[in-house]
Amino acid sequence: MTIDVVSTQPIEGQKPGTSGLRKKTRTFMEPNYLENFIQSIFNAIGGVEGKSFVVGGDGRYFNAEAIQTILKMAAANGAKKAIVGQNGLLSTPSASHLIRLNKTDGGLILSASHNPGGIDEDFGLKFNIQNGGPAPESVTDAMIEQTRTLQSYAILRAPDVALGQIGSQSLGDMSIEIVDPVADYLVLMQKLFDFDKIRALFASGFTMRFDAMHAVTGPYAKAILEGALGAAEGTVVNGVPKEDFGGGHPDPNPVWAKPLMDLMMSDASPDFGAASDGDGDRNMIVARGLYVTPSDSLAVLAANAHLAPGYTSGLKGIARSMPTSAASDRVAAKLGIEAYETPTGWKFFGNLLDAGMATICGEESAGTGSDHVREKDGLWAILLWLNILAERNMSAADILADHWQTFGRDYYSRHDYEAVPADAAGQLMNDLRAKLADLPDQNFAGQTVKRADEFSYHDPVDHSVSHNQGLRIFFESDARAVFRLSGTGTEGATLRLYLEQYAPRGTDHGRDTQQALQSVRDAAREISGLTERLGRDAPDVMT
């Protein structure tokens, strides 16, 4: 086997976002594009000589081919070992667990998460560090620098690895272990949750529908829900991973998981509904006749986590991303623990989890997780819900209603304006930023501004500061609007408007969400001039 050192030159635009580098699949397939980025990762972490890594992805188009390139480049650069999911499949939380379990030097995860897959859709690659979490800004900054100066990459000239064959192989001097992607993850879940209690719940006639969206969690859900927990065959639908996710959009929300939503709102609804995304780190929870927002789900899980064996000793703290509603803050206050507000991006939770300052974390974008790994974990959240349902012997809707009676309700919605011209979105944000200081005490659409600012995060562990994390407008009515440009799209810009209105205990908690948020929505639009400036009468996606 021969090591080829290939001359190359820097490629513009290889800057990772909140979850690695995401581009159109055809872009990643261009000559040297993938190879440049992989070599830049290796260089940024001080080389890979003698190191070990976990490698796997969500099975989208180009996943297997990219893994072969990663393995050949790792071998050429002197890596000692690679642990790879069978057929190249690993959910993101499972990859995080394998990094931690095997004490590897990190992992390369191939996914564009909830983005569509296919040759004309999206692809992504990110590096996770030794703690199992996404690379922090210090590492991604080093990666960016490498992409700007790279002159060559090394790759082993060798036959492809047999990704479907479980067991040991070698590639040059590097050993490769092909593993069952589900096995170790299942063992971890059995330690955290009362499988006997959940199995008894299903045996009692409890029904569920889990939509895997033809993404990576299909095999995990089949093995855990229908296998270990005894749920009826057919509980898991769309359970076979496909390169294009069956032509669907693997984002678990009411828009893209509409068949599940329609079922859960019908007379034929099972007791409980759930879905997960492309790489298995996101989740959607649906009660019979009621969508549970990710913000509410985080709060309910935090308030009831002590009912599961892995969390009987209580929580150390609760962390949420800034755009996520304050519902979990109210839980933290009642429990007498800290509530942390971080920027969007799971990497910001890593320091809190490693320092033992937080146990459960969540984002409004359907990501929830705990200190069992360093990624959000869709199936973990679903299993915790099932454990709570089994212990409390109440429906999901009744648990949610009881939660609102105890803590009040944070009406919440996110409005996404997708594929907006980047210059128009950027100018809107710049102009809004310039007027923040003048907004307090002004009235817009019946809402009086209390304060307005741009969110900056001061990490309580390493004391780093992250600026420019979103524009916030707080109203006297205990409402809030947040404007933020997303870093997960691949075309133009995605402008996200987050709306929140608190309804205290003893008030009406049964209003339609969009009606309850209408005045704060109108105020946000008036302040920003969003409708006129973007030429959009309504968001592309509303969750």
Residue 330: phi, psi to the nearest 5?
-70, -35
Using the structure block, give the residue that is written with the tokens 């009642």: 334
Active-site residue (options: 40, 52, 111, 113): 113
Contact 96/132 with Cβ under 8 angstroms?
yes
Name the 3-class secondary structure at 390. helix
The per-residue DSSP string of 486-508 comes to -SS-SSSEEEEEEEEEEE-TTS-
DSSP structural state of residue 232: P
Q: Which amino acid is at 112?
A: A
Longest CA–CA span in the chain (Å) reads 73
Determine the Cα–Cα distance for residues 121 and 251; give it in Å rounded to an integer. Answer: 14
State the first-to-last Cα distance of the chain, in angstroms, to the nearest integer.
52
Contact 66/29 with Cβ under 8 angstroms?
no
Name the 3-class secondary structure at 267. coil
Of 98, 97, 127, which Cα lies nearest the Cα of 110? 127
Q: Is 113 considered catalytic here?
A: yes
Determine the Cα–Cα distance for residues 238 and 242; give it in Å rounded to an integer. Answer: 9
Q: Assign 3-class secondary structure to 95-151.
A: HHHHHHHCCCCCEEEECCCCCCCCCCCEEEEEEECCCCCECCHHHHHHHHHHHHHCC
Q: Assign 3-class secondary structure to 507-518.
A: CCCCCCHHHHCH
Determine the Cα–Cα distance for residues 261 and 263; give it in Å rounded to an integer. Answer: 5
The per-residue DSSP string of 283-336 comes to EEEEETTEEE-HHHHHHHHHHHGGGSGGGTT--SEEEEETTS-THHHHHHHHHT
Of 360, 264, 378, which Cα lies nearest the Cα of 304? 360
Of 144, 120, 141, 132, which Cα lies nearest the Cα of 11? 144
Using the structure block, give the residue that is written with the tokens 């070990």: 52
Of 371, 379, 349, which Cα lies nearest the Cα of 231? 379
Contact 331/318 with Cβ under 8 angstroms?
yes
Determine the Cα–Cα distance for residues 180 and 494; give it in Å rounded to an integer. Answer: 37
Task: Give catalytic residues, as residue numbers.
Answer: 113
